[in-house]
Amino acid sequence: NAGVTQTPKFQVLKTGQSMTLQCAQDMNHEYMSWYRQDPGMGLRLIHYSVGAGITDQGEVPNGYNVSRSTTEDFPLRLLSAAPSQTSVYFCASRKSGLYTEAFFGQGTRLTVV
């Protein structure tokens, strides 16, 4: 089973460029989320979705857009990359419910120069 697949694994962008981080899951999970991981700050929630067509903002949504047209896919778009967006990005999926654990992708290491 593939689980949660993120692409690309590494990316370097120039300031002002845009790009989309891809995330796909094959577990039929309703919930999907994007986190960024920065040293000393743990994982911070960017955006999340509770089902196709439904998305909402997390703690640090500025500069990012998401959409969820299918259950499987949850892409994260950087509109105009800034050095402050240099980070490691993780996509996660979960079954619906308070108690369900998250399954994570392998992460995308993004550097904005």
Partner 1 sequence: AQKVTQAQTEISVVEKEDVTLDCVYETRDTTYYLFWYKQPPSGELVFLIRRNSFDEQNEISGRYSWNFQKSTSSFNFTITASQVVDSAVYFCALSEASTGGFKTIFGAGTRLFVKA
Q: Is the CB of residue 105 less than 8 Å from the CB of residue 43?
A: no
Helix, strand, coil shares of the chain, percent, nearest 5, are: 5, 50, 45
Within 10 A of 60 (CB to CB), how many other CB atoms are there?
18
Using CB under 8 A as the binding rule, whether residue 41 contacts partner 1 is answered as: yes
β-pairing, 54-57 with 42-51?
antiparallel
**Residue with Cβ nearer partner 1 (75 or 107):** 107
Please state the closest distance from residue 33 (CB atom) to partner 1, in A. Answer: 7
Identify the CA nearest to 30 among candidates 87, 103, 81, 82: 103
**Residue with Cβ nearer partner 1 (2 or 14):** 2
Using CB under 8 A as the binding rule, whether residue 42 contacts partner 1 is answered as: yes
Using CB under 8 A as the binding rule, whether residue 25 contacts partner 1 is answered as: no
Element (H, E) at 84: none
Binding partner 1 (rule: CB under 8 A), the pick from 5, 63, 75, 104 is 104
Binding partner 1 (rule: CB under 8 A), the pick from 31, 52, 72, 86 is 31
Where do contacts with partner 1 occur on this chain (CB under 8 A)?
A: 31, 33, 35, 40-45, 48, 50, 56, 58-59, 88, 90, 92, 94, 96-107
